[in-house]
Amino acid sequence: MSGLNKDHGKLIHMLHDTQKKFGYIPAHSISQISGELKISESEIFGVLTFYKAFALEPRGRHLITICMGTACHVRGGVQIVEEMERKLNIKVGKTTANRKFTLETVNCLGCCAIGPVVVVNGKYYSNITIKKVDAILKEYQESE
Amino acid sequence: MQKINNPEQLIEWKQNVLSKRPLYKKTIVVSSGTCGQASGSLQIIEALKHELEKRNLEKTIGIKITGCHGFCELEPNIIIYPGDIFYKKLESKNIQKVVEETILKDKIIPSFIYEDSRTGKKFSQQKEIPFYKKQMRVLTENNLKVDPTNIEDYLALDGYQALANVLFNMTSEEVIAEIKDSGLRGRGGGGFPTGKKWEICREFESETKYIICNADEGDPGAYMDRSLLEGNPHSVIEGMIIGAYAIGASEGIIYVRGEYPLAVKHVRIVLEQAKKFGFLGKSIIGSEFQFDIHMIQGAGAFVSGEETSLMASIEGRRAFPSQRPPYPAQEGLWGKPTNINNVETWANVPLIINKGAEWYSEIGTKNSKGTKIFSLVGKINNTGLVEVPMGIKLREIINNIGGGIKDNKKFKAVQTGGPSGGCIPADKLDLSIDFESLTKVGSMMGSGGMIVMDEDTCMIDVARYFLNFTQEESCGKCVPCRIGTRQLVDILTRITKGKGDKKDIEKLTDLSRSIKDGSLCALGQTAPNPVLTTIRYFRDEYEAHIKEKSCPALVCKDLIIYYIEPEKCVGCLLCLKDCPVDAISGERKKVHVIDQELCIKCGACLEVCPPKVSAVSKYTGNKRDRILEKASRQRVKK
């Protein structure tokens, strides 16, 4: 550890910024960061793929995140994931062909009292049932 | 106000804050943590502002926006002072009435106050509600009083007085002695005595030392750290500065889980405030002590909650744990002595300094002192954050504070300690909640998640859930953890699919032991706990899955069927319309039938069938087989 350059600590911070700016980590950003921090591209790639917050592919316009915490799980979170997958016709982690929706899961958002929880573009939806899934999607499908 | 240069100025400032406060006739406190905002607290605030402005009341009635009040089930809620009137689950359309009746006419609106679902008793005052009354809220109470983004609120409650006291009246040894005497133990899960930890780090000589606040709260189902950081972040910062003084650290890092945007925002704000007023930086409160804190945002890796992994992550590397020794106190972040404590531990520090070790050590049991915040979630009536003295009985938490199990179902187990913990069965309800007792029954304190499970929870499914979690989060460094947890998941999945083998229980146990022995960090060492405790206390459920191919809790999809009871079905077409795979046939006012071959067991029919009718049932075991047999006979006939 002691052999590391303290600038190395900026890496995750810069990846956060890049992710925020582009919605993913484009290849040219990796080479740019590599040059700035003097860290090899392969190492940066290793780090960014280790953490869930970073994506290598652009996400859809609307990011749907379903909480998979324990409390959401015992309250039927799995059924919500399956229903979303059916309705969007994609698996978790994927983006619809029209780049409209990306479906992701998260381990716990810490709002266990109101689970199952679905978050779309940062907006929280609480106590979700299979029936409510359609209504949530409609809100965004019609937002064009 | 400018930089504070001595303790007298701090006291002056506090008095100034108190005397300059607008004298509101009434103050409306809105709970607006993440849960509150998710349930609509921001709309409530807007409606309140609008309503008060409309009536020219904004100068006489105050609105205070605070972090989470703990009773998450009843969000969004408000408390009106004086009077301590607690209104639950409000909507913006209710606000006009609140202002008209309660604010202007002092009338309590019966439909907004809390009603105990079991006794039918109503409570208008926050403090009288059993959920709050039976807690001991020494840390969380201030969440009701503090606007987290306003440092003056914290000062009004003697904020930073402990720090001033430490800097000007105590040596670092005395601070450590005080923390040791208090008996405070780490709240992040390990339970290591905090004072001892500081002392070890203090003794290593180095020009640079670091302290870290571990706010990478990754345990699913635990969110007390989030609540403290959102609701009263200055208390955590003050604790860290005191710790830094005791240890002799010059730099601090607060590592906040990236999935907590509101906590990140509040920490950013309070760090700036603390710097501005001279609680961080050079010459803190005019003393010779200098110390600074910066925040790092996590990037979504559960293992980074482990201390050595956390440091790797701060250094911009993959969050791999490393061999101990050397311990962080010897060789931690950037190779320098480092002390890591969890959010709740840090928040306890100013409290101990202010009230004294003696006061603190009177709370709790012989070896576990103070209070602990638990997140009481799952199939429980009163979901929320509860702060209780160590040593309280599990039964008291679940029945008295939690208000019992949802929908009058039967209690089955409570899972504590997150993915590292275990499931505690009903016959252990009289267990004292402290570090040792929890370990003795095969679970652990962990960070304080308490997930209540009822008769409808399948314990094998729960074990599989946790193992799936640890398997995904295993960083992959140690083979037994990386491959072993995968094998555990495979075996558990096989069992839930009805393909379990007689020898599977034995295999799970053996494999679990190897994983525990062969892993470097706590993730691997504790990952098998959910499997081991469910085997220990719910072996019959494993056997039912393996031998009878049945899931007694009616959860495991491959072992159950959905069935429409012909004598109950009224033929309303609801389920038929909602079935995503068109597996239900029937006509209006004629009995509907599920085609078992098409059914994907999503449960939509059960959800939409009106409660009055409740014609959809789930079956497993013999009954399931009989129904399936009958269905296949009918198919052959056709």
Q: How far is CA B199 from the centre of its chain?
A: 30
Per CB-CB distance under 8 Å, the chain B contacts of A125 are 38
Closest by CA position to B406, among listed A141, A76, A100, A101: A76
Q: Same domain for A76 and A42?
A: no
Per CB-CB distance under 8 Å, the chain B contacts of A114 are 35, 38-39, 72, 75
Q: Same domain for A13 and A73?
A: no
Range of the domain at A10: 6-50
> Which pLDDT belongs to residue B140?
96
Q: Same domain for A103 and A35?
A: no
Q: Same domain for B43 and B157?
A: no
Q: Are B202 and B175 in contact (CB under 8 A)?
A: no
Q: Does A1 touch chain B (CB under 8 A)?
A: yes
Which residue of A lies nearest to B308 if distances are taken between CA atoms? A1
Distance from the Cα of B380 to chain A's closest Cα (Å) equals 9
In this prediction, residue A45 has a pLDDT band, given cuts at 50, 70 and 90, of very high
Q: Same domain for A92 and A120?
A: yes
Residue B2 lies in a domain: no
Q: State which of B99, B132, B165 marks the end of a domain.
A: B132
Q: Does B321 touch chain A (CB under 8 A)?
A: no
Q: Does B251 touch chain A (CB under 8 A)?
A: no
Burial of B504 (0-12, 13-18, 19+ CB in 10 A): middle
Residue B489 lies in a domain: yes
Distance from the Cα of A32 to chain B's closest Cα (Å) equals 16
Q: Are B342 and B186 in contact (CB under 8 A)?
A: yes
Q: Same domain for A76 and A136?
A: yes
Q: Does A93 touch chain B (CB under 8 A)?
A: no
- Give the closest of B298, B378, B384 to A74, CB-based: B378
Q: Same domain for B191 and B321?
A: yes
Q: Are B561 and B624 in contact (CB under 8 A)?
A: yes
Per-chain mean pLDDT for chain B: 95
Residue A87 lies in a domain: yes
ipTM value: 0.91
B300 and A52 within 8 Å at the Cβ level: the answer is: yes
Q: What is the DSSP string of B207-265?
A: S--EEEEEE---STT--HHHHHHHH-HHHHHHHHHHHHHHHT-SEEEEEE-TT-HHHHH
- What's the structural domain count of chain A? 2
In this predicted structure, the answer to whether residue A2 has a pLDDT above a threshold of 70 is no
CB < 8 Å from A in window 414-453 of B: 415, 418, 449, 451, 453
Distance from the Cα of A98 to chain B's closest Cα (Å) equals 22
Q: Same domain for A36 and A80?
A: no
Give the CATH number for residue B565. Answer: 3.30.70.20
Burial of B529 (0-12, 13-18, 19+ CB in 10 A): buried
> Which pLDDT belongs to residue B220?
87
Give the CATH number for residue B83. Answer: 3.40.30.10
A113 and B73 within 8 Å at the Cβ level: the answer is: yes
Which residue of A lies nearest to B35 if distances are taken between CA atoms? A111
Residue B242 lies in a domain: yes
B453 and A46 within 8 Å at the Cβ level: the answer is: no
Q: Same domain for B236 and B209?
A: yes
Distance from the Cα of B636 to chain A's closest Cα (Å) equals 31
Q: State which of B391, B424, B457 marks the end of a domain.
A: B457
Q: Does B377 touch chain A (CB under 8 A)?
A: yes
Q: Does B327 touch chain A (CB under 8 A)?
A: no
Q: Same domain for B268 and B166?
A: yes
Residue B366 lies in a domain: no
CA distances from B408 to B91, B219, B376, B380, B405 (A): 27, 28, 17, 10, 6
Q: How far apart are CA B122 and CA B118, in angstroms?
A: 11
Q: What is the DSSP letter of B331?
A: S
Q: Same domain for A39 and A94?
A: no
Residue B554 lies in a domain: no
Q: Same domain for A112 and A85?
A: yes
> Which pLDDT belongs to residue A1?
41
Per CB-CB distance under 8 Å, the chain A contacts of B38 are 111, 114, 117, 124-126
B34 and A124 within 8 Å at the Cβ level: the answer is: yes
Q: Same domain for A114 and A43?
A: no
Closest by CA position to B279, among listed B101, B449, B159, B148: B159
SS (H, E, C) B134-200: CCCCCCCHHHHCCCCCCHHHHHHCCCCHHHHHHHHHCCHHHHHHHHHHHCCECCCCCCCEHHHHHHH
> Which pLDDT belongs to residue A143?
60
Q: Same domain for A17 and A68?
A: no
> Scanning the structure block, which residue is given the tokens 């392969």?
A42
Quick count: other Cβ atoms within 10 Å of Cβ B403? Answer: 21
Cα Rg for chain A, rounded, in angstroms?
18
Q: Does A114 touch chain B (CB under 8 A)?
A: yes
Q: How far apart are CA B4 and CA A131, in angstroms?
A: 56
Range of the domain at B525: 460-547
Residue B45 lies in a domain: yes
CB < 8 Å from A in window 94-153 of B: none
Q: Same domain for B439 and B535?
A: no
Enumerate the H helices of A23-126 as residue ranges.
27-37, 41-50, 70-74, 77-88
Sign of torsion over alpha carbons B434, B437, B438, B439? positive
Helix axes B459-473, B529-537, angle to 10 degrees: 170
Closest by CA position to A106, among listed A48, A55, A67: A67
Per CB-CB distance under 8 Å, the chain A contacts of B298 are 53
- What's the structural domain count of chain B? 5
Residue B285 lies in a domain: yes
Distance from the Cα of A27 to chain B's closest Cα (Å) equals 19
> Which pLDDT belongs to residue A114?
84
Residue A55 lies in a domain: no
Q: Does B299 touch chain A (CB under 8 A)?
A: yes
Q: Are B508 and B531 in contact (CB under 8 A)?
A: yes
Q: Does A45 touch chain B (CB under 8 A)?
A: no
Q: Are B300 and A53 in contact (CB under 8 A)?
A: yes
Closest by CA position to B27, among listed B84, B76, B69: B84
Q: Are B45 and B32 in contact (CB under 8 A)?
A: yes
pLDDT beneath 70, residues of chain B:
1
Q: Does B358 touch chain A (CB under 8 A)?
A: no
Quick count: other Cβ atoms within 10 Å of Cβ B271? Answer: 21
A53 and B602 within 8 Å at the Cβ level: the answer is: no
* Span A86-102, average pLDDT: 94
B580 and A83 within 8 Å at the Cβ level: the answer is: yes
Q: Same domain for B511 and B393?
A: no
Which residue of B lies nearest to A8 if distances are taken between CA atoms? B316
Per CB-CB distance under 8 Å, the chain B contacts of A40 are none
Distance from the Cα of A103 to chain B's closest Cα (Å) equals 16
Residue B203 lies in a domain: yes
Q: Same domain for B326 and B377?
A: no
Of chain A, the percentage scoring pLDDT greater than 70 comes to 96
Per CB-CB distance under 8 Å, the chain B contacts of A1 are 311-312, 315, 322, 331, 333-335
Q: Same domain for B167 and B283?
A: yes
B146 phi and psi angles, rounded to 5 deg:
-110, 130
Q: Same domain for B464 and B427?
A: no
> Which pLDDT belongs to residue A4?
59
Give the CATH number for residue B225. Answer: 3.40.50.11540
Which residue of B lies nearest to A48 if distances are taken between CA atoms? B318
Q: Same domain for B250 and B111?
A: no
Q: Are B353 and B168 in contact (CB under 8 A)?
A: no
Q: Same domain for B453 and B346?
A: no
- Give the closest of B217, B316, B475 to A8, CB-based: B316
CB < 8 Å from B in window 17-36 of A: none
Q: Same domain for B441 and B346?
A: no
Q: In a 3-state reduction of DSSP, which class is residue A124?
A: strand
Q: Does B37 touch chain A (CB under 8 A)?
A: yes
Helix axes B504-517, B539-547, angle to 10 degrees: 130
Most A CBs within 10 A among B43, B317, B450, B462, hence the mutation to make, goes to: B317
B604 and A15 within 8 Å at the Cβ level: the answer is: no
Give the CATH number for residue A82. Answer: 3.40.30.10
In this predicted structure, the answer to whether residue A70 has a pLDDT above a threshold of 90 is no
Q: In a 3-state reduction of DSSP, which class is residue B394?
A: helix
